[in-house]
Amino acid sequence: MTLEFNQIHRADHLPGRIAAEIAREINDGKLKAGDKLPTEHVLSKTFGVSRSVIREAIAQLRNEGAVETRQGVGAFVTDPRQRVSIRIERSKLNDPDNFRDLFQLRMPLEIEAAGLAAVHRTDAQLERLKTAVHKMRHAPVWEKDGIAADLDFHRTLADATQNDYFSMFLGFIAERISSAINTAFSRAVFGEILETTIAEHVAIYEAVAASDASAARAAMRAHLSGAAERVNLHLEVYS
């Protein structure tokens, strides 16, 4: 079977455009329920983008219910009659109350995910976390490369719980919140914020690498609390 993906332009939001192209192939019936998507390697070559961009696009399709992922096997097209999706319009996050509520939902989920990841992560997932931190430190353009690495870190952490529901919910929530936070940064303090953000991710990585669930939860709590404060969100945080 030959899939005819349209060309993706660099000015576009790459993961979203790639997800739309794959969704088009599904909607046109070229990819049917049960079909396995091409591998990350093949898709990255096809679209001319990094594998982290492909992972983000697949995560978006998973969150929309178009595909399901199976650990170590790949992504498969779901039966449209059984699709369940979560949808939150990005424009709604311009409302401070909606943004606060979504962030508040994220906190207990991602704190627990960090603890589970410390216990259940694989060596490959630990390496992906390390790579994401490295890419955050050396991102040539933070708005593109840094944000992608940040999201890949949180997505990998969710995957490392070995619980598909954490992957589904956190992949969806983190992508929307991270985009909103990064666009809210003031240029005057952007460098300082990046240093703090990267240091927080390093602390999470080190706790997960040490298989210390308690430390991983504490590091994630500190990171999310700091992220909330940096955008003037005041949340109740419980130990």
Convert the pLDDT of each residue in 120-147 to its tens digit: 999 999 999 999 999 999 988 777 788 8
* Enclosing H/E stretch for 201: helix 190-209
pLDDT at 188: 39
Measured between its terminal Cα atoms, the distance across the chain in Å is 53
pLDDT at 216: 98
Residue 234 in this model has a pLDDT that exceeds 90 = no
Q: Which range among 66-75, 83-92, 95-104, 140-149 shows the weakest confidence by mean pLDDT?
A: 83-92
How far apart, in Å, are the Cα atoms of 15 and each of 59, 61, 167? 9, 10, 17
- Is 2 strand, coil or helix? coil
From the centroid of its chain, how far is CA 64? 14
pLDDT band of residue 189 (cuts 50, 70, 90) is very low
Residue 237 in this model has a pLDDT that exceeds 70 = no
